[in-house]
Amino acid sequence: MLYTENASSFQLTTSQKQYNFSAGPGILPQEVMEQAAQAALDYEGLGLSLLEMSHRSQPVVELMAEAEQLVAELLGLNDEYKVLFLTGGASSQFYMVPMNLLNAEETACYVDTGSWSTKAIKEAKNFGNVAVLGSSKESNFNYIPKGYTIPEDAKYLHITSNNTIYGTQYHSFPKSDAMLVADMSSDIFSRVFDAQQFDLIYAGAQKNLGPAGTTLLIVRKSILGKVERSIPTMLDYQTHVKKNSAFNTPPVYPIYVCLLTLRWLKKNGGVTAMEKINRDKAQLLYNAIDTSEYFEGTAAKEDRSIMNVPFVMKEDQYTKKFMEYCAKHKVSGIKGHRSVGGFRASIYNAMPKTGVEYLVDLMNNFKL
């Protein structure tokens, strides 16, 4: 237990900075932040800040190559794939994916599981036909649609693997003859999966990989160059494949922080070890919610996310009181998204189990 109790109150018995349960930008490993801070002052003892080093310099070329290699190693990618670090956030991929993959007369299929997939669907309609195969909008996106049929003429199927706002997650991925595309912004590297089942994966870094400023893209090289439209140079994936993410000046510092996180992942057992820890953390928190006198979950149990856990007060009038209680006890980022309300605990890779135990203790000790 993290608390001692007396007749009037309980007190923290450990001192620590705030536990950050924010959905994004999310928590990073402490050692990663310390190493990144040092590199901002002096990178690798070279007497230069990484912030002022040329992206053409050998040290920067090497760090970007290492980051690419570690992504491939951790996810088990073969040489058919290219790893890129782009800019514009995952939101830019909402239009870059159809722009690069979908001809005007072709059909792309989407599953609508929340705000981000809804935005991706809107952008794709600018480039070709869009079929929405399933949607959970009618229940405020509290489950993952299932049982749909993928048309034989589908060019690709786009899914959002984990829904940050609504706390739902695919626990198995659809199979089809169409290309499979996924937005994995909030659960990349959190669990073992067959990455080579996918033809394209993209992920904004700031939820489970690094800081805002770069976007990870993994693409099967053979699917590129097949559309008939003229693509602006900067929006053409082939441009960045040919130039190893350095056609223009890349966001070197955010990529470096991602590299540090990837090193941390590898050192701590890779994705396999991370999945076990993440499932333990999620089970601990969901058990606390399900057995609580005051709280209840919002996502369908079979589709619950191991990354983002939304929950609400059974009696909404006490929501503010628990929020103030969390703030008093050094818990930040716990407020739920306005479309769900209540609370949301984002328990990304870098959140230690002790952080979840701390939150559970708060929930158990909370009194109206």
Active-site residue set: 116, 183, 207
**Strand residue runs (E) in 38-161:** 81-86, 107-112, 129-135, 154-160
Amino acid at 48: L
C-alpha dihedral, 125 to 128 to 132 to 137, nearest 10°: -10
DSSP string, 286-355: HHHHHT-SSEEE-S-GGGB-SSEEEEEESSGGGHHHHHHHHHHTTEES-BPPTTT-SEEEE--TTS-HHH
104 contact partners, CB below 8 Å, separation of at least 6 = 127, 128, 228, 229
Measure the CA–CA gap between 41 and 144, rounded to whole angstroms. 46
Going by their DSSP bridges, the two strands 215-220 and 200-204 should be labelled as antiparallel
Burial (CB < 10 A; 0-12, 13-18, 19+), residue 6, is exposed
Measure the CA–CA gap between 21 and 221, rounded to whole angstroms. 36
Measure the CA–CA gap between 102 and 109, rounded to whole angstroms. 11
